Amino acid sequence: MILVYGDSLSAAHGIAVDKGWVSLLASRLQQEGYGFRVVNASISGETTTGGAARLPHALATHQPSVVIIELGANDGLRGLPLPTTRANLDSMLSLAATEHRAVLLVGMRMPPNYGERYTQGFAALYPELARAHHAALVPFLLQGVAEKPALMQADGLHPNERGQPVLLDNVWPVLRPLLHKRQL
């Protein structure tokens, strides 16, 4: 079982849930013959603080073999202190990796108007934590989407239905090797 644990970017905010990248992932897994079920425990507006508080229950309830953590964007958009975001992600990665689970961390970036120091520090959190925890990493979920208004909703923050397959294409090449290891 794959647990997707994220915020509005994974919860299909503003579009039909079955058109979101997580539902597209479930369809791809089925089409390609993988025996994984996908549970989407993503909540719009979730921060790393809320995610860290909810994760123990989610892991106990679903008992996944693969955990995808896609959190932090709301911390950044709110300008929360980077040490807090780092500590929460660090805690979630440690907990997710127990019981020999495969963990995939999905990175985010902040727009330049947050200032160079904050945006660079925020972007650096993800590769640093992935290395420290030996987790797989998608460097930037919105790669190829965020800079294309035709793939974004009017709010400029959330991908529209046309952008969702690109999100899946950003995740799939990093996730797929984890799936093969779990099926051996």
Catalytic-labelled residue, pool 13, 42, 75, 158: 158
Catalytic-labelled residue, pool 7, 8, 10, 42: 8
The Cα 98–Cα 145 span in angstroms is 33
Active site includes 155? yes
Q: Which residues of 74-90 are buried (b: 16+ CB within 10 A; e: fewer)?
A: bbbeeebebeebbebbb
Q: Where are the beta strands (DSSP E) in 16-129?
A: 38-40, 66-70, 102-106
Active site includes 8? yes
Contact residues for 169 (Cβ-Cβ < 8 A; gap 6+): 144
Active site includes 158? yes
The Cα 121–Cα 20 span in angstroms is 29
Which amino acids are annotated catalytic? 8, 155, 158
